[in-house]
A and B are shown apart, each in its own frame.
Chain A
Amino acid sequence: MPNDLWLSIGAILPIIVLAVWACLLLLVDLFIPAQRKGWTASLAAVGLLITLAVILSRLGQSQSGFGGMVMVDNFANFLSILLLASGLAAIALSHDYLQRTGIERGEYYVLLLFSISGMMLMGMASDLIMVFLALELLSIPLYVLAGIAVPRLNSEEAAIKYFLLGAFASGFLVYGTALVYGASGSTSIAKIVQVIQAGQHNLTLLLAGAGLILVGLGFKVAVAPFHMWTPDVYQGAPSSVTAFMAVGAKAAGFAALLRIFVLAFPVVSLDMTPVLWSVAALTMILGNFVAIAQKNIKRLLAYSSIAHAGYILMALTPYGQSNVSADSVASALFYLVAYALTNFAAWAVVIALEQADERGLELSDYAGLGRKQPALAAAMTVAMLSFTGVPPTLGFVGKFFLFRTVIEGGFIGLALIGVLTSLVSAYYYLRVVVIMYMQEGEPVVRRDGWLYATAFVSSIGVVALSIFAGPLIALASRAILNLF
């Protein structure tokens, strides 16, 4: 066998390990009795840890593989580690929740692993065809996971809605890819860059292609006006799936957006920047204002996730300016970490309060939590403050970094919209805190060690990492994109 094939296989070894582990787990799970699905959960976690070890053992190297189809650089490794950690958190949130709602199946964990492998591939993909493949690999397990609570009706609704709109969005992405291919004669990002540098591209087609790719990936990361599916899917899917989906799908979608736009499309930045500007502004305004009206905590967090997609997209706006684009990538990555940690702290509390038949999800169910469960209420408070962007939380550092990048790029108006909508968001985030501490109530709370551990570790992480944010920022700044 040719030598570069071995090198290529070596480059994507983490994904291979994870996918093979998932396949084996699917078989092993067949022999695990239904009351012992905790074993499947632990084995899935072991698989994620092994993959993490493989990645950590080869940090700092940058490898390209399969003729430029994948690029395993610091950026990809950074994302892979974030995704694997999110997967571990998701498993910690899942086991007890699935068991008590009676929907625990071994396939759940297998699908989770497959989805993570797709997300990791998305971070590495440096060919538009590969981006599409990774997108399908991450999406299809998520469609099934959203509907895993059958025969609960709104879970089925969530799965169908997510599937149909996701397939529609993939169509946009493929159309965009085809147009970019028409404009440049290649789907490989490195080759597209070469063609553009030589000035042999068709600018109109390239612009149309870039726009369609933005639409396709915009669906996945849920930016307005492509966010319609988000509230229904986030509400209908089992909470543990939603918690993972909110982080994983967003991180993967933004990874592809960052790599494609920053590397291949600076040439169309003059036309794309106003588009990104308005999409980001619209997303922040819509997400934050509609969230005010929500009474259900899952819907509230869904709209909050839309708003946060807007903040991250804001970082992409100055992507065309070569002196800012590195900061643009770093601040987006940093914000994704901040969002992931905060998100898992919040969802751990939501899952602890959720009961059978979707009771315990209204905001009023949180009344009295501060007196009855001070520790959980504190974790939720930290998460809400971090979502708002109040120091000393990671959300504050992330937003600070984001706004600085945007202002550096010269978009003071956009940064202003970001700050003002953050102020608006304080209203509905802090309302949760007010309800928890200042209203009387008897909240019903599920006690589970893993759930509590996730809530506390994430919320302590949110605070601690904000005080010692230096190393994390340095890591994010080193997670640059490599072209060759």
Chain B
Amino acid sequence: MLFDYLPIIVLIIISTGLAGIAVLLGHLLGPRRPTLRKSVPYESGMRPIGPGARRMPVRFYLIAVLFILFDIEIIFFLPWAVVFKKLGLFGLVEMFIFIAILLVGYVYAWKKGALEWE
């Protein structure tokens, strides 16, 4: 049974091997003339203005949580829309229940002031 997976293992070995060889060859053969401009994180981009791990207002996290919440809603909507006709009335009612549950969370977040920036 495990023999069936042999092609996958071979593929993994070959692809990691190839990737390793490519990186190694570039490293060995390529000329290196580093300048200050070339070694910044974004070459030809804007000039970095400080370390990446800066302190952020905690409000962003709240926004992120809300985003995830309502993003999942969309993920559920999509397959539902695809099989909408097949599901018929049942699907419609189900989706309304789903939206009603989400709406409870939305109203809660709204009233608690999670959507206001200040």
Decide if A and B are genuine partners: yes
A residues apposed to B, CB below 8 Å: 1, 5, 23, 26-27, 30
Contacts of A30 in B (CB 8 A): 107-108, 111-112
| Contacting residues of chain B (42-87) with chain A, CB-CB under 8 angstroms | none
Is B117 interfacial (CB-CB < 8 Å)?
A: no
CA distance A1 to B93 in the complex (A): 10
CB nearest neighbor in A for B100 = A23
Report the interface size for chain B: residues with CB under 8 A from the other chain.
9
Contacts of B104 in A (CB 8 A): 23, 26-27
Is B5 interfacial (CB-CB < 8 Å)?
A: no
Which residue in B90, B101, B108 is a CB contact (below 8 Å) of A1?
Answer: B90
Tell me whether B108 and A26 are in contact (CB under 8 A).
yes
Please give me the 6 A-B residue pairs with the lowest Cβ-Cβ distance, nearest first.
Answer: A30-B111, A23-B104, A1-B90, A26-B108, A26-B104, A27-B107
User: What are 11 residue pairs bridging A and B, where the CB atoms are less than 8 Å apart in the complex?
Assistant: A1-B90, A1-B93, A5-B90, A23-B104, A26-B104, A26-B108, A27-B104, A27-B107, A30-B107, A30-B111, A30-B112
Contacts of B89 in A (CB 8 A): 1
CA distance A51 to B116 in the complex (A): 37
Main secondary structure of the interface of A (DSSP, over half): helix
A27 nearest CB across to chain B (Å): 6
B residues apposed to A, CB below 8 Å: 89-90, 93, 101, 104, 107-108, 111-112
B58 nearest CB across to chain A (Å): 13
A137 nearest CB across to chain B (Å): 13
Contacts of B112 in A (CB 8 A): 30
Contacts of B107 in A (CB 8 A): 27, 30
CA distance A27 to B89 in the complex (A): 28
Contacts of A1 in B (CB 8 A): 89-90, 93
CB nearest neighbor in B for A30 = B111
Most buried by A among B90, B108, B112: B108
Tell me whether B108 and A27 are in contact (CB under 8 A).
yes
Contacts of B93 in A (CB 8 A): 1
CA distance A26 to B89 in the complex (A): 29
A481 nearest CB across to chain B (Å): 30
CB nearest neighbor in A for B112 = A30
CA distance A26 to B101 in the complex (A): 11
CB nearest neighbor in A for B108 = A26
Tell me whether B90 and A23 are in contact (CB under 8 A).
no
CA distance A30 to B90 in the complex (A): 32
New contact pairs (6) apart from A1-B93, A30-B108, CB-CB < 8 Å: A1-B89, A1-B90, A5-B90, A23-B101, A26-B108, A27-B104
Contacts of B90 in A (CB 8 A): 1, 5
CA distance A218 to B111 in the complex (A): 39
CA distance A75 to B93 in the complex (A): 32
CB nearest neighbor in A for B107 = A27
CA distance A8 to B77 in the complex (A): 24
